Amino acid sequence: MTTGLKQKLDYDDYARIPPDRNRWEILEGDLHVTPAPSPLHQRVSKRLQRQLEGYFETRGLGEVFNAPIDLILTPHDVVQPDLVVVTDPNRLSTRGIEGTAALVVEVLSPSTLDHDRTTKARRYAALGIPHYWLVDPAGSCIECYRAEAGGYRLVVEGHGESSLAHPDWPGLTLALADLWR
């Protein structure tokens, strides 16, 4: 029997990481860490969460979760998105959210910008996340992507103090000015 280092980390390895102020994730078995988010990041995330709850939860369409919560996509892909909308209650377990979610939202920070736009977007698309949003507090912008042909296509974006109506969820209109104030 040969022993050695694991080539790919899995959920059991992830669950043994001691708690600290960092956000730990595993993508394709590789460990990634980012520092705790800034107050601006948290403020924008919280305000968007309230608007999403007002749409999904009051209509009985799903439930909105905020970080930290584990989104366990595969044994080798465990992430903690800023916001997650779950429309299938069977996805919820004692460990977290297991499998795909209807919507994953990442609020961009200077330290995560490239990772969220490339590595995470590629992996989320490959694993079947149908909707991926990027929220840029510094640029006062939201980009809403839909999975198509193994990747994501921008379907709507909003800037500044405008309103953003999402074409896939009738009646979902976000008041962007409320996010940035």
pLDDT tens per residue across span 55-97: 999 999 999 999 999 999 999 999 999 999 999 999 999 999 9
Judge whether 102 and 85 are in contact, CB under 8 Å.
yes
pLDDT in tens, 130-171: 999 999 999 999 999 999 998 999 999 999 999 999 999 999
- Alpha-carbon span 142 to 161, nearest angstrom: 11
Q: Is 113 exposed, middle or buried (0-12, 13-18, 19+ CB in 10 A)?
A: middle
Residue 4 clears pLDDT 70, i.e. is over it: no
Determine the pLDDT at residue 100. 96
The token pair at 52 is 């999403």
Say whether pLDDT at 2 is over 60. Answer: no
Give percent above pLDDT 90 in the chain.
86
Task: Enter the DSSP assignment of 22.
Answer: S
Q: Tell me the pLDDT tens digit for each residue of 31-50.
A: 999 888 999 999 999 999 99
Write down all domains in the chain, each with its CATH number in brackets.
37-180 (3.90.1570.10)
Is residue 53 classed as helix, strand or coil in its secondary structure?
A: helix
Q: What is the pLDDT of residue 98?
A: 98
Count of residues for the chain?
181
How sure is the predictor about 3, in pLDDT bands with cuts at 50, 70 and 90? low
What pLDDT shows up at residue 50? 98
Q: Is the peptide bond before 18 cis (omega within 30 degrees of 0)?
A: no
